[in-house]
Amino acid sequence: MGETKIDRLIADLPWLDWAAGVLKAVGEPIAGASAPRGLKDALVGTWFGHALHPAVVIAPIGFWTSSVVLDLAGEESAADLTLGLGLVSAGAAAATGIAQWQDAANDLKPRRLGALHATLNTVATGIFVGSLVARRRGARAEGRALSLLGYAVAGASAHLGGALSYDLGLGVDHAAFEKPPTDWTDVAAFADLPDGKPIKVNADGVEVLLLLRGHKISAIGNTCPHLGGPLHEGEVDGDCVHCPWHDSVFLLDDGSLVHGPATTPVDSYQVRVVNGQVSIRVEDTAARKDAALQSA
């Protein structure tokens, strides 16, 4: 892939490394390695089923869009109200955005691009604060002009946010395009499985974690949905495996997500041993859900 405009932009802005360091320090208490597990899970969206930031950021952008439109319509009180609501909701958008970015900050592109995105958001928020202050002192023309400027900066920042998600993969499921086999597929000889140690096998091009414990074999997807970490290299803790990269936790029995920063489970496979060969196929999740509902 050739060099993009964003590649050239962040290459010309080395000061973004300093800004990223500040941002990472700010985010450490809520989303770093030492942050409370429940708080980080809440901010990244583990409970939500996908990244929380895109859903939360709708609020400030929507309020500020409404404020600009209401300014044009001459609805002064409503414009001021929505401007203020945008400022109030910007805090939640910032917190969820930092949480989503924090674990990717060691790599150059997401580190610098995330820092630039956060810097522009901070500038835009500051401009909107200035707009609200101008309105409160009766300088409505100045307030409207500042709102338009703030909205333009926020729009530029939103473009960078899209690049973080869709170009660099922050907040997306890194196992989304895997196609697990639905037919029984040989993946290993039973005699080759070490007891108690997870290994990686290939099932028609899909990486799968196999773990033999006594006479039981567990098989789940090996790619952590968060940022693609190899689960077979992680620590096994009871019935769970921890991603070695950012400590997402999954159940070995069915791939269920226990803790983030991942927001989706991994695939679960059925296992059989025939003539010394271990075969797997992806579990029918629809059937599993129906069975769970019937037993509830």
Nearest to 83 by CA among 160, 119, 136: 136
pLDDT digits (tens, 9 = 90+) for 99-130: 999 999 889 999 999 999 999 999 999 999 99
Q: Which pLDDT score, from 0 to 100, does residue 162 have?
A: 92
> What average pLDDT score do residues 160-177 get?
92
β partners of residue 240: 237, 251
Q: CATH topology for 185-295?
A: Rieske Iron-sulfur Protein (2.102.10)
Separation between Cα atoms, residue 159 and residue 188, nearest integer Å: 46
Q: Which pLDDT score, from 0 to 100, does residue 284 have?
A: 61
Tokens of 115: 């820092």
pLDDT digits (tens, 9 = 90+) for 219-239: 999 999 999 999 999 999 999
**All structural domains of the chain with their residue ranges:** 5-167, 185-295
Can you give the pTM of this predicted structure? 0.87
CA distance readout (Å), 259 to 142, 211, 282: 48, 20, 23
pLDDT digits (tens, 9 = 90+) for 238-267: 999 999 999 999 999 999 999 999 999 999
The torsion angle over the Cα atoms of residues 178, 288, 41 and 241, rounded to 10 degrees, is -70
pLDDT(286) > 60: no
Using alpha carbons only, what angle is made at residue 243 by residues 241 and 244, rounded to the nearest 5 degrees? 120
